[in-house]
Structure 1
């Protein structure tokens, strides 16, 4: 393999949020969504050249940055973006918060399809809005959208915004164009604007193509904004950069104002350089990464089928976050405490992802396979005794 994803790169003691948050020695972190792989060589080389310059003052984002973003989404996803639609900011979570601030008033309802990424809830709460949770339906081991429930929630006069997750974290779904079209039509029918978090868009697997919500038709494009970043796919979250894509001039001005009010309007030089390198030169590395992650997922599926059959692994269409169903085993999401204390494995409890997350665990599989297998073996030692409770 041209890229060595099997290499174990020590991260403890590097002020890694993922690795250095657990205070106890020997903990294997398989929780927060960053990867244990070095980023693409093209990104590292671009950053090295920038470091050698030695001056890191305030950054002016160049035209070439916008060109890189536009070209990537056109070539990779057949989505035509105009450079002027792009607003840069320091991350997707700050972007979500700024958009909620710009397009709602305190007391408005924001629809979220749950279980959902936990920061959705804080972005809604921090802007004085109310959560309207539309539960996804888990049937025969796969999540689908409850369109009747979504329609009813969108019809509520207080509902102003749908916070869409595409691909979905933590359910692992890559919504099809048909599903997104039904979502979009419901929102248009009831005057609900769509805020689409598409940060995991590059991490999809064979047979599950990512469809940008705004690319489906002009009506959806004008009734939505999209938040993207290379941070997940290229493992550069610490460089703090993301883009808000809004085609409507009036909407974009309101969001730009909110970005400035929230003081997340500046980015650092490394985020700019890394984004350009990733989008201009990182496609081959990304494809190799996706192939490796898919093999990791198959490894997890085999392990659970053989050793922990009472814990179904949900299909992974996108992301590197495996959703584990613990409900039939009688083991709840609170088992994360025991996994940490007895197995020294840190995973995410499903309860943090809101209604519908109870009884699930989220496992980050973006690590060298040797660490993955070690983590699975540790988990089995704790989970297996509870299989028949």
Structure 2
């Protein structure tokens, strides 16, 4: 596997690269610029050579692969019937909110947070309740007092947890998850736990599935996962919605079928099976490389652009950049990086009020791209100071 090798994606219909001209370096959109594992490529090639790409359905190997992965990697023994399908986490969340809420109900999120959560909640006619994370000394913590206040509202029905957290990179501890769970159980709040980045934890950190923290959590939780971020196969549109609660699961299945979303992509089954049975050696190498990229970016900024302070992630392939010491108005920050440095990042303000003055950087790319991008940013910042 050659992680240092640049693979040109500009003519591959990549969202990340298609939107930019040849002069722009895109460090946005949370997919990787690394070629997927040989085993996944082989499985997809065999499917392609079959030559017929009709309607697909699920098989026992698919469910067994998911169960195998979660048992070996996260010590959670899933039951086959809990495993439901969605073409993506956000479509799945939309359907779940249709099941769990009525227009006007409150949905709690912890901002700054993955920005599609906002539109998902609004689309279902619910009201967003922001339990803002506390940022101090370069680290984010949960405001439990405010969380309890939000959860105690009579219209509060759902809490969308992001674990590990996107964009701030926290891996919530078992103690933190237990405290959140006790509040949710006390106030009868259903938890939708987005654990998309659970496999991308770094050394010294361990992902804890929220549903496993206490027996009271299990039936109160829907867990959303996928092989897409882990193995760079988001384009296969194959996400997994884990629903232990029988009543919620039956309602979800009904609405999934009602929208005609119950069938997977023709390549999704083989890609998922190959990823979960054979992708671990590839993932180990990728995580090591990502951690080296995190250290590279952190050191470069500290030494050359101290005005930009990285929030060092405990997981994900993203770095949350605190740019508030730059002499740039927050509303002009994103355009500054694009117009003055030729870098496309993800605008911090999209992630909620706490994202103002921040930008999100995707570091899942060859280091030479990061080095070039940081050099451009350094030059642009120094030109401001002249």
Judging changes above 3 Å, is the alpha-carbon distance between structure 1 residues 262 and 384 closer, same or farther for their aligned structure 2 residues?
Answer: farther
CA contact (8 A) 1:333 1:350 kept: no
Judging changes above 3 Å, is the alpha-carbon distance between structure 1 residues 142 and 289 closer, same or farther for their aligned structure 2 residues?
Answer: same
Q: Deviations over 1:331-365 (max 9, x none)?
A: 33632212212221100110000121101010000
Q: Say which of 13, 18, 42 aligns to 2:11.
A: 13
Instruction: Using the TM superposition, give the Cα deviation of residue 263 of structure 1 relative to its aligned residue in structure 2, in angstroms.
Output: 3.2
In structure 2, C-alpha distance between the alignment counterparts of 1:177 and 1:263, rounded to whole Å: 37
In structure 2, C-alpha distance between the alignment counterparts of 1:236 and 1:305, rounded to whole Å: 33
Q: Say which of 365, 368, 371 aligns to 2:366.
A: 368
Q: Which runs of 5+ in 1 are unaligned?
A: none
Where does 1:203-214 land on structure 2 (aligned, <5 Å)? 203-214=200-211
Instruction: Using the TM superposition, give the Cα deviation of residue 199 of structure 1 relative to its aligned residue in structure 2, in angstroms.
Output: 0.6
Helix, strand or coil at the partner of 1:57? coil
CA contact (8 A) 1:89 1:95 kept: yes
CA contact (8 A) 1:94 1:264 kept: no
Where does 1:18-33 land on structure 2 (aligned, <5 Å)? 18-22=16-20, 24-33=21-30
Q: Specify the alignment match of 2:90 in structure 1.
A: 93
Q: Specify the alignment match of 1:274 in structure 2.
A: 271
Instruction: Using the TM superposition, give the Cα deviation of residue 267 of structure 1 relative to its aligned residue in structure 2, in angstroms.
Output: 1.1
Q: Deviations over 1:230-251 (max 9, x none)?
A: 1001110011000100111101
Q: Specify the alignment match of 1:337 in structure 2.
A: 335
Q: Specify the alignment match of 2:194 in structure 1.
A: 197
Q: Specify the alignment match of 1:120 in structure 2.
A: 117
Judging changes above 3 Å, is the alpha-carbon distance between structure 1 residues 263 and 123 closer, same or farther for their aligned structure 2 residues?
Answer: farther
Q: Specify the alignment match of 1:222 in structure 2.
A: 219
Q: Quick check: 1:318 aligned with 2:333? A: no
CA contact (8 A) 2:237 2:265 kept: yes
Helix, strand or coil at the partner of 2:46? helix
TM-score (norm 2): 0.97
Where does 1:1-389 land on structure 2 (aligned, <5 Å)? 3-22=1-20, 24-331=21-328, 332=330, 334-386=332-384
Instruction: Give the total of aligned pairs.
Output: 385
**Which moved further from structure 2: 300-309 or 338-347?**
338-347
Helix, strand or coil at the partner of 2:58? coil
CA contact (8 A) 1:310 1:387 kept: no
Q: Deviations over 1:209-256 (max 9, x none)?
A: 000101112210110100000100111001100010011110111121
TM-score (norm 1): 0.97
Q: Deviations over 1:27-60 (max 9, x none)?
A: 1100110110001111111111111111111001
CA RMSD in angstroms, aligned pairs only: 1.2
Judging changes above 3 Å, is the alpha-carbon distance between structure 1 residues 257 and 281 closer, same or farther for their aligned structure 2 residues?
Answer: same
CA contact (8 A) 2:106 2:157 kept: yes
Instruction: Using the TM superposition, give the Cα deviation of residue 68 of structure 1 relative to its aligned residue in structure 2, in angstroms.
Output: 0.5
In structure 1, C-alpha distance between the alignment counterparts of 2:258 and 2:197, rounded to whole Å: 27
Instruction: Using the TM superposition, give the Cα deviation of residue 386 of structure 1 relative to its aligned residue in structure 2, in angstroms.
Output: 4.2
In structure 2, C-alpha distance between the alignment counterparts of 1:338 and 1:143, rounded to whole Å: 26
Q: Deviations over 1:134-169 (max 9, x none)?
A: 100001110000000000000011110000000000
Instruction: Using the TM superposition, give the Cα deviation of residue 269 of structure 1 relative to its aligned residue in structure 2, in angstroms.
Output: 2.1
In structure 1, C-alpha distance between the alignment counterparts of 2:371 and 2:339, rounded to whole Å: 19
CA contact (8 A) 2:333 2:357 kept: no
Q: Which runs of 5+ in 2 are unaligned?
A: none
CA contact (8 A) 1:28 1:345 kept: yes
